[in-house]
């Protein structure tokens, strides 16, 4: 079923989940499509259409049950899966990501961290001892690894991607500017391109472009 959910709908799911979590924290038990539309800055009809994609929830006039809808979206997102992830790059950005993120709430467990910098290897990060890049291969052979988080400078990425791919790692959360999809077509990549985002802000300020 969920194979047919389009990427735009998928990209809205984390936001639904986030808002439903807030409603639940506030003790709110039911929410109407109008209320959801307000929070999501969407229309009630868009909300109904989205939620219909994964099974009919909500009763005309009664709204959606918050907890049930949140759990269902969580299941669709697969955040109960506990995917095992390794972090490549324990520089400023990698350390911040490792410290800042919850991971388990997003479906992942961070199990290992690698860097090539001698000054960083052996230091602790989120209770994990940073290992040398030289250990990546043996680690992956000995442990389940579902995804790699890449917080590397662009020019360090290519050889590591080739190594990871050859070891069967095909899922990436990519903060580098390296375009993995250009090398491998069967990988799953979520890119976080901070510079692109900031440049877009620059453009919009320059043009006073308030639409999103």
Site for its own copies, rule CB under 8 A: 2-3, 7, 10-11, 13-15, 17-18, 38-39, 41, 76-79, 81, 83, 91-93, 95-97, 99-103, 105-108, 146-147, 171, 173, 177, 179, 181-182, 185-190, 192-212
Q: Rounded to whole angstroms, how far apart are CA atoms 81 and 87?
A: 18
Q: Rounded to whole angstroms, how far apart are CA atoms 89 and 17?
A: 29
Instruction: Compute CA distances 155 → 54, 88, 179, 200, whole Å.
Output: 41, 13, 11, 24
Kindly write down the DSSP assignment for every residue of 140-188, as one continuous string: HHHS---EEEE---HHHHHHHHHHHHHTT--EEEE-SS--GGGT-TT-E
Closest CB to its own copies among 62 and 100?
A: 100
Closest CB to its own copies among 93 and 128?
A: 93
Tokens 């109904």 locate to 48
Structure tokens at 29: 């038990």
Nearest approach in angstroms of CB 174 to its own copies is: 9
Closest CB to its own copies among 61 and 205?
A: 205
Phi and psi dihedrals of 24, rounded to 5? Answer: -60, -45
The SS3 call for residue 131 is strand
Nearest approach in angstroms of CB 205 to its own copies is: 5
Nearest approach in angstroms of CB 39 to its own copies is: 7
Closest CB to its own copies among 23 and 134?
A: 23
Closest CB to its own copies among 60 and 206?
A: 206
Beta bridge partners of 83: 108
Nearest approach in angstroms of CB 11 to its own copies is: 6
Nearest to 129 by CA among 172, 90, 85, 169: 90
Nearest approach in angstroms of CB 59 to its own copies is: 27
Nearest approach in angstroms of CB 154 to its own copies is: 9
- Rounding to the nearest 10 degrees, give the CA dihedral for residues 110, 112, 118, 124: 60
Closest CB to its own copies among 61 and 144?
A: 144
């Amino acid at each position: 079923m969920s194979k047919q959910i389009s990427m735009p709908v998928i990209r809205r799911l984390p936001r639904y989940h986030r808002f439903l979590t807030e409603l639940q924290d506030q003790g709110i038990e039911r929410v109407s499509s109008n209320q959801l539309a307000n929070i999501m800055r969407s229309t009630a009809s868009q909300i109904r259409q989205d939620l219909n994609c994964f099974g009919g929830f909500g009763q005309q006039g009664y709204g959606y049950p918050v907890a049930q809808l949140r759990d269902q979206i969580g299941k669709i997102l697969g955040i109960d899966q506990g995917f095992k992830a390794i972090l490549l790059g324990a520089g400023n950005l990698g350390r911040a990501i490792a410290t800042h993120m919850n991971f388990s709430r997003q479906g992942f467990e961070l199990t290992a961290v690698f860097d090539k910098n001698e000054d960083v290897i052996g230091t602790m990060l989120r209770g994990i001892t940073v290992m040398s890049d030289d250990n990546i291969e043996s680690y992956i052979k000995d442990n389940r690894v579902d995804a790699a988080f890449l917080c590397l400078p662009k020019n360090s990425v290519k050889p590591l991607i080739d190594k990871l791919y050859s070891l069967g790692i095909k899922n990436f959360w990519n903060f580098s500017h390296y375009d993995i999809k250009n090398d491998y077509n069967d990988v799953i990549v979520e890119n976080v391109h901070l510079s692109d985002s900031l440049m877009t802000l620059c453009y919009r300020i320059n043009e006073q472009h308030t639409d999103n």
